[in-house]
């Protein structure tokens, strides 16, 4: 019951907080053309550039191979793990979710490996250590905690999956089912609640932020199309 | 105040090593603060205002509201470290505040403190800090150790561009009366006299006349350097260093020879006798627009059909990326040509059309490499295709000389290193920073020097040319090993009178 309330609250903060941020990003003007060049000269080209950035972490690949492999492993693992969790929220379970279900344990392992790599880098590379705040370590440990509790339920202390599913379906239909016992599942869900709760207030905003980054999402066509926004005064109306 | 030559120039090894973090290594480096007259001429308070903290924090909020880039960049950094070994000033000094993320954090920590929930209530946890005297001091020092070259933005997974952050910080500092002398004094001169050097019209006319005589004496062809000629086809806007400095002036001679041989009538303007736009460096759109408007006014007054920019890196950024926004639309010009055009685009087109007669063997005494200027490489384009800013200059150089070799791939193109003097740092009070910041480029030059016996490095930026003339000797090279691309072109052009 309490856990249901916490999860609802966290989700509410997440939706409102991230929605507000996205609105802010979208409504703030970009007065000048500043794509990092060479940049695509067409909208379609920009879609491709963004897709490569989102899916392959193109720029990070250019920058640092260790950071790239660790963060890509983590994010890919996270995506697969999230999709696999759909089996708790769909009834009957969608076909493709069943299909990828066997991948979930590998996804969890990929997350832990990637996050641990990033954490070690943060601790042992002097440059990265210098720029790290306490929250940077805590964030990694929080997500490691989420992945680890998930994996433990899988490999060690099994949880009553059927009951968890009842609980999840209850959440979906706004019914407060009681969560089956087990400290691991409670811990897992609490950590998830913390993560989505801090999302709008933390560097996790890099997820929506990337899509609004002018250096990546602008088309390189300033000579062909005049870029005008309200912040640059029109000289014709200059007093 | 600034001690000169009391530092050791870096020694080049076999390759560029990433230095160990050395806190405080450049803590002593800062440019002269602007005098009240310099600030006031630009519309800023003369001296540090009493309630500067409040004014600065408010200005920061205003800037964030007005720039999507700044807002997204201040929110999105995850401190992944991808940029930490990419800045030439970090590679040359080891000072951790010269890591792009740490430089951004000087501003980000204050933003977090005042404009985010986490920073207001849990500052220690998320690294939020107050804007106190020490912080302002660090802002002034380290935002004047960024040449706004955008190399970090290539490698950032979110495209965070430290140039945008340092421009914002400089604008905030200007707003509270703590401007930088070099930039603000120069912008004042442009507003007053039309160019960075403060060169009045009669002096410019004299200089150009002298040039005409020199060139005619040398090649026996009456190449003109027209000034304020109404009805010319092309208005050439070029950095004022081209009128005086070496090796810049040989570039100007090259442009004149190209126009002469192609039979294109052209003119310089005494009203817009400067391509550079330092308004960019201090992050002031108002000043940048005011400086850019001179070009529109000159084009209208002279009734030209095209605007062409000479060799200048950040000027080309402002010209290519911003001019249309700031001073457009240019529907009164010939729509068959992009507005503006780069002189390299003009020369490249003419070569392709076979309208220039060139003999590359005229430069057989040189083995040449090319330095991609940061603002051209990462903030502009040439030609119709993405990446033309890399291929067009190289095509032009290869048409002008027989021995061309590129520096290592991770130091050219989009990965090019800044010369070390860009972004409003080309001043003698920052010479230690400039020498140390040039290290990665000097390392690459040493590589091609050893591998291909390179004798000259060509550039298309007035700041690069001045900077290299100054720093090359610190690394055992000669100051005249830096040349203009259009010097190569000019020397390779064959005029009938030659035969």
B274-297: string of b/e by CB count within 10 Å (b at 16+)?
bbbbbbbbbbbbebbbbbbbbbbe
Point out the residue among A203, A220, A233 whose CB comes nearest to the CB of B381. A220
CA B431-B95-A65 angle, to 5 degrees, is 120
Q: What is the distance in angstroms between the Cα of A237 and the nearest Cα belonging to chain B?
A: 12
CA distance B43 to B287: 9
- What lies within 8 Å, CB to CB, of A154 at 6+ separation is A104, A105, A108
Question: Do A163 and B132 form a contact (C-beta atoms < 8 A)?
Answer: no
CB contact under 8 A, B338 and A223: yes
Task: Spell out which residues of chain A touch residue B72, defining contact as CB-CB under 8 Å.
Answer: 25, 209, 212-214
DSSP output for A102-165 = GGHHHHHHHHHHHHHHHHHHHHHSHHHHHT--HHHHHHHHHHHHHHHHHHHHHHTS---HHHHH
Cα distance from B271 to chain A (closest Cα, Å)? 18
Q: Using the structure block, give the residue that is written with the tokens 């993560």.
A: A195
* Token reading at B275: 């391509």
Nearest CA in chain B to A138: B125
Domains of chain A: 2-237 (1.20.950.20)
Task: List, as ranges, residues 111-130 from A with C-beta within 8 Å of B.
Answer: 118, 121-122, 125-128, 130
CA distances from B112 to B82, B106, B115 (A): 21, 10, 5
- Kindly provide the ipTM of the predicted complex, given to two decimals: 0.95
Looking at chain B from residue 158 to 177, which residues have their Cβ under 8 Å from any Cβ of chain A?
Answer: 158-161, 164
Q: At what angle do helices B133-142 and B100-115 cross, to 10 degrees?
A: 140
| Alpha-carbon gap: B455 to the closest alpha carbon of chain A (Å) | 29
Would you give the DSSP letter of residue B404? Answer: B
SS3 content of chain B, % helix, strand, coil (to 5): 55, 5, 40
**Structural domains present in chain B:** 36-179 (1.10.1060), 194-405+454-498 (no CATH)
CA distance B446 to chain A (A): 24
The C-alpha angle with vertex B105 and arms to B377 and B441, in degrees rounded to 5, equals 35
Inter-chain residue contact B105 with A131, CB threshold 8 Å:
yes
Which residues 178-217 in chain A show a CB within 8 A of chain B? 198, 201-203, 205-206, 209-210, 212-216
User: Measured between CB atoms, does A131 come within 8 Å of chain B?
Assistant: yes
Nearest chain B Cα to A52, which residue? Answer: B157
pLDDT under 50: residue ranges of chain A: 237-239
pLDDT value at position A175?
78
- Residue-wise pLDDT tens digits, A152-186: 998 887 788 888 888 888 888 887 777 776 889 99
Q: In this predicted structure, what is the pLDDT of residue A11?
A: 96
The rounded distance, in Å, linking the Cα atoms of B105 and B113 is 11
* d(C-alpha B282, C-alpha B195), whole Å: 17
What per-residue confidence (pLDDT) applies to B2? 45
Tell me if B153 and A53 make a contact (CB, 8 A cut-off). no
Residue ranges of A 33-72 with Cβ closer than 8 A to chain B? 33-34, 36-41, 45, 53, 57, 59-60, 62-64, 67, 71
Shortest Cα–Cα distance, A217 to chain B (Å): 9
- B378 Cβ under 8 Å from any chain A Cβ: yes
Chain B residues within 8 A of A70 when measuring between CB atoms: none
Residues of B in contact with A49 (CB under 8 A): none
- A177 has a chain B CB within 8 A of its CB: no
Residue pair B183/B174 in contact by the 8 Å Cβ criterion: no
Nearest-Cα distance to chain B for A85, in Å, is: 26
pLDDT given at position A234 = 67
Q: Exposed (0-12), middle (13-18) or buried (19+): which is B336, by Cβ within 10 Å?
A: exposed
Tens-digit pLDDT string for chain B (499 aa) = 444 458 888 989 887 789 999 999 999 999 999 999 999 999 999 999 999 999 999 999 999 999 999 999 999 999 999 999 999 999 999 999 999 999 999 999 999 999 999 999 999 999 999 999 999 999 999 999 999 999 999 999 999 999 999 999 999 999 999 999 999 999 999 998 888 888 899 999 999 999 999 999 999 999 999 999 999 999 999 999 999 999 999 999 999 999 999 999 999 999 999 999 999 999 999 999 999 999 999 999 999 999 999 999 999 999 999 999 999 999 999 999 999 999 999 999 999 999 999 999 999 999 999 999 999 999 999 999 999 999 999 999 999 999 999 999 999 999 999 999 999 999 999 999 999 999 999 999 999 999 999 999 999 999 999 999 999 999 999 999 999 999 999 999 999 754 4
- pLDDT of B5: 58
Specify the 3-state DSSP secondary structure of B215. helix
Contact A28/B at CB under 8 A: yes
């Amino acid at each position: 019951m309490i856990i249901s309330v916490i999860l609802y609250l966290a989700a509410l903060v997440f939706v409102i907080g991230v929605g507000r941020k996205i609105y802010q990003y979208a409504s703030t003007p970009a007065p000048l053309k500043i794509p990092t060049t060479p940049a695509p000269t067409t909208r379609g080209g920009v879609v491709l550039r963004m897709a490569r950035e989102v899916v392959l972490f193109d720029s990070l690949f250019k920058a640092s191979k260790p950071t790239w492999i660790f963060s890509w492993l983590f994010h890919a693992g996270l995506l697969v793990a999230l999709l696999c969790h759909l089996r708790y929220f769909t009834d009957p379970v969608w076909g493709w979710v069943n299909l990828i279900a066997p991948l979930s344990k590998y996804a969890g392992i990929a997350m832990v490996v990637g996050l641990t790599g990033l954490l070690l880098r943060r601790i042992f590379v002097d440059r990265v250590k210098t720029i790290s705040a306490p929250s940077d370590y805590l964030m990694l440990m929080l997500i490691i905690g989420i992945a680890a509790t998930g994996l433990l339920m899988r490999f060690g202390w099994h949880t009553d999956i059927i009951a968890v599913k009842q609980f999840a379906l209850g959440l979906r239909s706004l019914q407060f089912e009681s969560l089956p016992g087990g400290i691991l599942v409670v811990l897992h869900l609490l950590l998830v609640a913390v993560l989505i709760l801090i999302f709008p207030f933390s560097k996790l905003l890099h997820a929506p932020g990337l899509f609004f980054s002018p250096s990546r999402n602008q088309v390189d066509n300033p000579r062909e199309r005049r870029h005008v926004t309200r912040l640059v005064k029109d000289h014709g109306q200059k007093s | 105040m600034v001690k000169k030559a009391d530092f050791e120039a870096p020694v080049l090894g076999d390759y560029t090593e990433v230095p160990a973090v050395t806190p405080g290594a450049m803590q002593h480096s800062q440019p002269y603060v602007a005098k009240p007259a310099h600030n006031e001429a630009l519309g800023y308070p003369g001296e540090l205002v009493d309630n500067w903290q409040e004014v600065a924090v408010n200005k920061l909020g205003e800037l964030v509201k007005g720039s999507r880039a700044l807002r997204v960049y201040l929110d999105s950094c995850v401190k992944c470290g991808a940029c930490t070994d990419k800045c030439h000033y970090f590679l040359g000094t080891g000072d951790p505040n010269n890591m792009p993320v740490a430089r951004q954090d000087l501003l980000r920590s204050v933003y977090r403190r005042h404009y985010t929930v986490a920073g207001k209530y849990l500052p220690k946890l998320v690294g939020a800090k107050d804007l106190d005297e020490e912080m302002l001091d660090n802002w002034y020092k380290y935002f004047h150790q960024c040449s706004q070259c955008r190399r970090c933005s290539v490698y950032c997974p979110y495209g965070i561009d430290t140039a945008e952050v340092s421009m914002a910080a400089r604008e905030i500092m200007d707003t509270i009366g703590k401007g930088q002398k070099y930039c603000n004094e120069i912008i004042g001169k442009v507003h007053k006299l039309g160019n960075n050097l403060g060169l009045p019209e009669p002096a410019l006319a004299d200089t150009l006349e002298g040039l005409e005589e020199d060139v005619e004496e040398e090649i026996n062809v009456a190449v003109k350097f027209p000034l304020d000629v109404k009805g010319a086809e092309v208005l050439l806007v070029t950095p004022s260093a081209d009128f005086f400095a070496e090796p810049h002036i040989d570039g100007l001679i090259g442009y004149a020879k190209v126009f002469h041989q192609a039979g294109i009538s052209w003119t310089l303007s005494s009203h817009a006798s400067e391509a550079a736009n330092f308004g960019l460096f201090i992050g002031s759109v108002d000043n940048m627009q005011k400086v850019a408007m001179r070009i529109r006014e000159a084009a209208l007054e002279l009734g030209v059909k095209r605007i062409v920019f000479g060799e200048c890196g950040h000027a080309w950024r402002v010209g290519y990326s911003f001019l249309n926004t700031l001073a457009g639309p240019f529907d009164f010009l010939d729509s068959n040509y992009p507005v503006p055009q780069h002189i390299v685009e003009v020369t490249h087109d003419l070569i392709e059309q076979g309208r220039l007669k060139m003999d590359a063997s005229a430069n057989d005494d040189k083995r040449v490499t090319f330095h991609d200027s940061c603002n051209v490489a990462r903030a502009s384009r040439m030609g119709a295709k993405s990446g033309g800013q890399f291929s067009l200059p190289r095509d032009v150089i290869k048409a002008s000389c027989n021995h061309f070799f590129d520096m290592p791939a991770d130091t050219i193109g989009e990965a090019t290193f800044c010369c070390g003097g860009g972004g409003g740092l080309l001043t003698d009070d920052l010479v230690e920073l400039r020498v140390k910041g040039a290290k990665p480029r000097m390392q690459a030059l040493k590589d091609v020097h050893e591998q291909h016996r390179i004798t000259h490095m060509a550039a298309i930026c007035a700041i690069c040319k001045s900077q290299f003339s100054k720093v090359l000797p610190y690394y055992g090279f000669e100051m005249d090993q830096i040349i203009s691309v259009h010097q190569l072109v000019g020397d390779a052009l064959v005029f009938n009178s030659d035969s």
